[in-house]
Amino acid sequence: MIDEIDGKIIELLQDNARIAQADVARAVGLAPSAVLERIRKLETRGVIRGYTALVDPRTLGQGMLAFVSVRTEESPGDDSVARALAQCPEVLELHHVAGDDCYLLKVRARDAEHIGHLLWHRFGRIPGVRSTRTTIVLETVKETPRMSVPTAGELSR
């Protein structure tokens, strides 16, 4: 369970993973050594899985965002399509979903031609892919890796 102090530490790290431990300690009212110990425990428990830099994809020539729904002919327990899709560097997220489709992909590409290439020459050639349906994003209104952090007290209400 996450207590209120751990929740505050997580929120601070989500806002700025490079924040100084002394600043975190000041914000939560603990000694820096206690903050370091709490962060290490959160990492060990898998609550904090890592630290990353947020990059503007347009600056890297990856300005087109699309969501691709994939239907497969896989039998239950066969994840060969998912493993093949996961190998594509343009696939940022790969979700096994309920409903008519089997997988939902978040894909970054240069342009529409690049998306077309992915659909026909990469995804379409994976054995077991039956069909794809693509939604091109015109404008991103909100995109954040930041999660709200419910604490033990909030969960018990």
Residue 131 is part of which domain span? Answer: 57-136
How far is it, in rounded angstroms, from Cα 61 to Cα 131?
A: 27
**Same-domain pairing of 36 and 65:** no
pLDDT tops 70 at residue 154: no
pLDDT at 156: 59
Question: Is 153 part of any domain?
Answer: no
**Same-domain pairing of 26 and 67:** no
Each residue of 6-58: pLDDT tens digit? 999 999 999 999 999 999 999 999 999 999 999 999 999 999 999 999 999 99
The domain that contains 33 carries what CATH number?
1.10.10.10
Question: Is 156 part of any domain?
Answer: no
For the chain, how many structural domains are there in total? 2
Each residue of 83-111: pLDDT tens digit? 999 999 999 999 999 999 999 999 999 99
pLDDT at 134: 98
pLDDT tops 70 at residue 59: yes
**Same-domain pairing of 61 and 29:** no
How far is it, in rounded angstroms, from Cα 145 to Cα 50?
A: 12
How far is it, in rounded angstroms, from Cα 138 to Cα 86?
A: 24
